[in-house]
């Protein structure tokens, strides 16, 4: 049964992505998604609440889940490179998706998805009982890196993805490993 659910989720996702390349996501209807996927409307609602939850599924399953083992193994650079490479492969879709603003903005959905993944990975690690700074909770750490990662990904998409995935990974690492004063001095 799980295989059928995954197949249907994938059909709906691919239908949604194709439609998003032709029209604004706000104007895509559930009816259009299901017709393109060759399923009936109730099938969509058995899988997703709305198109924004479908977008969240795309980000979580197709972009972030493949990075989980890399992040768990401490291969964060490789995980970042995989994110940028995966997004660039579907450049047209992500250029349209990043335009979503408001309550269901791409930024909010992406940041939440990244934060959830990072928090799960952090909580899966053996954490020190005595932290140097009690404010540095797993939640705050996950949120900080989710915010910075989503910012770089979104700005990269908005700028047309002209910088190659390896270079933008290096740029992210440069920025995140320096204090603000170091970064300002090195400009």
Q: What is the 3-state secondary structure (H, E, C) of 82-140?
A: HHHHHHHHCHHHHHHHCCCCCCCCHHHHHHHHHHHHHHHHHHCCCCCCCCCCCCCCHHH
CATH of domain 1-48: 1.10.10.60
Contacts of 78 (CB under 8 A, 6+ apart): 70
CA-based nearest residue to 161, from 91, 82, 83, 78: 91
Mean pLDDT, residues 6-23 taken together:
96
Instruction: Give yes or no for a contact between 138 and 68, defined as CB atoms under 8 angstroms apart.
Output: no
Lowest mean pLDDT among 2-16, 85-99, 121-135, 162-176: 121-135
CA-based nearest residue to 12, from 47, 59, 61, 52: 47
pLDDT of residue 69: 96
The 10s digit of each residue's pLDDT in 69-128 is 999 999 999 999 999 999 999 999 999 999 999 999 999 999 999 999 999 999 888 766
The 10s digit of each residue's pLDDT in 23-68 is 999 999 999 999 999 999 999 999 999 999 999 999 999 999 999 9
Q: CB neighbours (10 Å) of residue 72?
A: 13
Q: Rounded to whole angstroms, what are the CA distances from 139 to 97, 114, 122, 142, 160?
A: 27, 12, 9, 5, 32
The 10s digit of each residue's pLDDT in 140-157 is 999 999 999 999 999 999
From CA 63, how far away is CA 164, in angstroms rounded? 17
Domains 1-48 and 50-185 share a fold: no
What does the mean pLDDT of the chain come to?
94
| Higher pLDDT among residues 1 and 44, named by residue | 44
Confidence band for 2, pLDDT divided at 50, 70 and 90 = low
- The answer on pLDDT for 1 being more than 50 is no
pLDDT of residue 71: 94
Which pTM does this prediction carry? 0.91
Instruction: Give yes or no for a contact between 119 and 71, defined as CB atoms under 8 angstroms apart.
Output: no
From CA 161, how far away is CA 148, in angstroms rounded? 17
The 10s digit of each residue's pLDDT in 133-144 is 888 889 999 999
User: What architecture is the 50-185 domain classified under in CATH?
Assistant: Orthogonal Bundle (1.10)
For the chain, which residues make up each domain, given as ranges?
1-48, 50-185
């Amino acid at each position: 049964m799980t295989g059928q659910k995954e197949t249907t989720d994938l059909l709906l996702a691919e239908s949604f992505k194709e439609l998003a390349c032709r029209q604004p996501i706000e104007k895509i209807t559930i009816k259009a998604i299901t017709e393109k996927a060759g399923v009936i409307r109730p099938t969509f609602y058995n899988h997703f609440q709305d198109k924004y939850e479908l977008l969240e599924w795309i980000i979580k399953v197709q972009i972030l889940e493949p990075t989980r083992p890399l992040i768990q193994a401490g291969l964060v650079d490789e995980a970042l490179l995989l994110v940028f490479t995966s997004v660039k492969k579907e450049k047209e879709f992500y250029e349209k998706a990043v335009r979503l603003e408001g309550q269901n903005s791409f930024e909010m959905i992406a940041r939440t998805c990244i934060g959830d993944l990072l928090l799960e990975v952090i909580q899966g690690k053996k954490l020190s009982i005595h932290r140097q700074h009690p404010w540095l909770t797993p939640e705050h750490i996950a949120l900080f890196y989710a915010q910075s990662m989503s910012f770089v990904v979104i700005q990269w998409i908005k700028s047309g993805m002209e910088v190659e995935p390896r270079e933008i990974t290096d740029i992210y690492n440069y920025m995140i490993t320096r204090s603000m004063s170091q970064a300002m001095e090195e400009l």
